[in-house]
Structure 1
């Protein structure tokens, strides 16, 4: 099996070598063959024995070169330099057949020099949640790290109670975070910061090296990618929960899953993290926090980019994010198609924005189920089932008036009916990852039954396609299970 260890070799002074520690009775519970094939990983990894040997044998392909990365981060707004890979290890890099570069990273690998007295382990509960979330986001079209395999064990670890330990191999373009740059900037290690920039330009931003100022171009790229990701989070009702700068990727991907949630009933100020008492990372705060984090990240560019240019670059975040948000919301509401975006141009743009604003304001006022309401709109358009939509709102008169205005606007836009229906069906998922579904999968897995996990994963990997046998994953949660705040699951 051919893998590379560019980060470990070229940035050895920024890492510590650590061998992964096996758990008692470690076994392969699930392997994501679809992801494996998509990025062209070596076939032997699908074999449990060869995979475990690569991870834990003394001279295993992954074990011999695994490293823990050093970084810092702003956690709930406060700078913390004492961070790093506390329970995860960078195993290797893989070059896909199309030339793209992918990190393989083991989460729950045991203690590292950056564990801060922690055990370096992950529990089955949080591992399943990360696996499901990363795949759910990816298949909704939201950039995310992805889960390659789930390893279970007979070993227990202590959290609030004793829980079964597990491991996850995740895959993404790289595991370089905002906090990497922040740490070497704030600790005044310019040589190491320069080495990190050089590595990024060689492996991740090679196309920018010939720009007049590659550093400014890199900053602009990170800002743009982060803005696009945030727009998608807001459109699909995803609350990350822990947007610390050490959880922000330079690739604009969703990263480091903890107490995340896809909203059930729509609360614009929804908080999914029970430790976030002040609501810093509430749903409606996410765009502002992303910009705050980008500003913290941008400090590392001060020796490379004039401050006025940094300020100008950061000022592009909001318009990029809002433009993409409106474009995606137009798709969810069936106001644009692939060939007709008239709704986003004058003189139609203002009416379009008003329709979107009024729609979201009413969902928030009545706390309607976010995904279900969009499905009712889809049915009202495609199946002429207006009554179900208006009946779903407490204020039926508002719903009737809004839909009448909506229909008139659609007529003015002159949308092709077939294309509109296609846009609605490919923008409004049948299956969304609700916390009570994830909990059902976790409860079954604690009894060594992974059938619920696999069935749910199958639904989430084709979220826009309604299929017989998956009806259980369209059921709304009982009121008692809606919006329950979660822990960081570490």
Structure 2
């Protein structure tokens, strides 16, 4: 029989990271917040950590996840790491506004709980250690939306709000989001020790990761080389997922890259709307380093930063083969696999890469909405009658600036389907299962944020319910799939988002 769901007092903590030598972190309690209030919670994440969902309604729930009270068994700490920010070595960084409470044992392995926005730490530098309601809502919703899309990600249990003032560009109110992941170790966690010449600490951290998260790598001739190759492969799969769904992270610094291949640290993210391969979703990214088209290249660059940090454990002459040999072919094959599925192709055919290039050229020239284009395509017929073709294709043709160009592309797409004798009902079902109708567009998050600032959190819950089922039609939520309203054209997200 499955174990009974836990209460807040009986969560089975197993704090493996806290067993590392104390040079890896600073033990300290979160800073209490006045008048904490539950803004939103994810029942799915509560289930992941074995927490009875009725615990979310407890009067003292907000006290625990604001950091005002400590969960029994937790050992709060802030981890140290360093990193490259916008391609420049930034030196020591660390959990400047995050407190790791510890890991909770689950049937699928430990899941760590981390409070983001819980006050200053020794790594805050000149910052206040707080998060604001705006950014916490964005991270909470996007963490759960990405999980529902099947993209590796950290998760979010809840948001706790407070009237405490926090200064950003303006005065905002404070919030704490509880993040959940097997581990929050980053590329920069290794860079930190390598930059100091601390080879023992590099090895200790690598051994910790292998023993706790990748134990099969111990069977390899060099487990550390195998770890780097594993990270490269998982990172390739992650970025392929991002590109296929049109997700832009916005700030792919090495301290924001998960060693487990998870989407980590949601800040100025965005989902592609009017397609532009060179779109920059981060208003702070003046040089376009993290533009949509750059993400695969930046992940590759970041892997070399990680590889350089592991040189005391790996022959430096092997770095190219370990990174390029794992990352490049895996990214290319996985991205092509994902895109074949999005286009409805059940088999691999010669010329698929060229057709994919033509498809992206079409998206670029016509500035088509990325999500709506693929979702609408999923519902088209493979061989409509000539007399009714224009009507059958109207929903997609109406998205094109140049309908003749759209018709020509559709003819090529149908010719490709005919090569494998595609059956409409089967193909459409496959395509609808991989082409979401709903993604977290920035204007949707902004609408929820504006209501929340007025004390109304209901839109967060409605949006979360919709994003949990991104591939379902959900007629009552159809307005969430609409193109952005005019006011959304003025939205900007930056590193403070």
Q: Same fold (TM over 0.5)?
A: yes
Q: Which residue of 1 aligns with 2:145?
A: 136
| 1:311 match | 320
The alpha-carbon distance between structure 1 residues 59 and 34, as it changes in their structure 2 partners (threshold 3 A), is closer
Asked if the contact 1:184–1:193 (Cα under 8 Å) also holds between the matched residues in 2, the reply is: yes
Residues 1:198 and 2:207 are matched in the alignment: yes
Q: Which residue of 1 aligns with 2:71?
A: 61
Residues 310 and 235 of structure 1: CA distance in aligned 2, closer, same or farther (over 3 Å): same
CA displacement 1:336-395 (0-9 Å, x = unmatched): 2xxxx2xx2xxx231x22222111111111211111111221232389522332232122
Partner residue, 1:419: 426
Moved more, 267-276 or 479-488: 479-488
> What do the CA deviations read for 1:80-132 (whole angstroms, capped 9, x no partner)?
1220000001111012123x221110000000000012110000000000011
Partners of 2:117 and 2:175 within 8 A in 1 = yes
The answer as to 2:34 corresponding to 1:24 is yes
Name the SS of the counterpart of 2:176 in structure 1.
strand
Gaps of 5+ in 1: none
Over the aligned positions, Cα root-mean-square deviation in angstroms equals: 1.9
CA distance in 2, matches of 1:305, 1:409: 45
Structure 2 length as normaliser, TM-score? Answer: 0.92
Paired residues in the alignment total 479
CA distance in structure 1 between the aligned counterparts of 2:155 and 2:127, rounded to whole angstroms: 25
Q: Are residues 1:290 and 2:299 paired?
A: yes
Give, in angstroms, the shift of residue 479 of structure 1.
Answer: 4.5
Q: State the partner residue of 2:452.
A: 445
Residue in 2 aligned with 1:82? 92
Aligned to 2:283: 274
Are the counterparts in 1 of residues 153 and 263 from structure 2 also a CA contact under 8 Å?
yes
Q: d(CA) in 1 for partners of 2:467 and 2:270?
A: 14
Q: Which stretch of structure 1 is more off in the superposition, 396-405 or 42-51?
A: 42-51
CA distance in 1, matches of 2:29, 2:295: 36
User: Residue 33 of structure 2 contacts residue 68 of structure 2 at CA under 8 Å; is this kept in 1?
Assistant: no
Answer whether contact 2:157 2:179 (CA < 8 A) is retained: yes
Q: Report the Cα offset of residue 23 of structure 1.
A: 1.1
The C-alpha deviation readout for 1:9-39, integer Å capped at 9, x for no partner, is: 2232211011011211012222211121134
| Partner residue, 1:236 | 245
Contact 2:378 2:432 in 1 (8 A): yes
| Contact persistence 1:55–1:63 (CA under 8 A) | no
**How far apart, CA to CA, are the structure 1 residues paired with 2:398 and 2:90?**
50
Q: Which runs of 5+ in 2 are unaligned?
A: 1-9, 385-391
Aligned 1:301-340 pairs, distance under 5 A: 301-316=310-325, 317-336=327-346
Q: Structure 1 stretches (4+) deviating beyond 4 angstroms?
A: 42-45, 52-59
Give the aligned partner of residue 14 of structure 1: 24
Equivalent residue for 1:389?
396
Given that residues 84 and 255 in structure 2 are in contact (C-alpha distance below 8 angstroms), is that contact kept between their aligned partners in structure 1? yes
Q: Which moved more, 1:316-325 or 1:107-116?
A: 316-325
The one of 405, 413, 418 aligned to 2:412: 405
Deviation of the 1:478 alpha carbon: 2.6
Whether 1:147 and 2:148 are equivalent positions in the alignment is: no
Counterpart of 2:61 in structure 1 is: 51
Relative to structure 1, the CA distance from residue 146 to residue 285 in structure 2 (aligned partners, 3 Å threshold; closer, same or farther) is: same
The verdict on how the C-alpha distance between 1:49 and 1:203 changes in structure 2, with shifts beyond 3 A counting, is: farther
The residue matched to 2:166 in structure 1 has which SS?
strand
Deviation sequence 1:257-293 (CA, Å, 0-9, x none): 1111001100100001111111000000000000000
Equivalent residue of 1:127, what SS? helix
CA contact (8 A) 1:11 1:196 kept: no
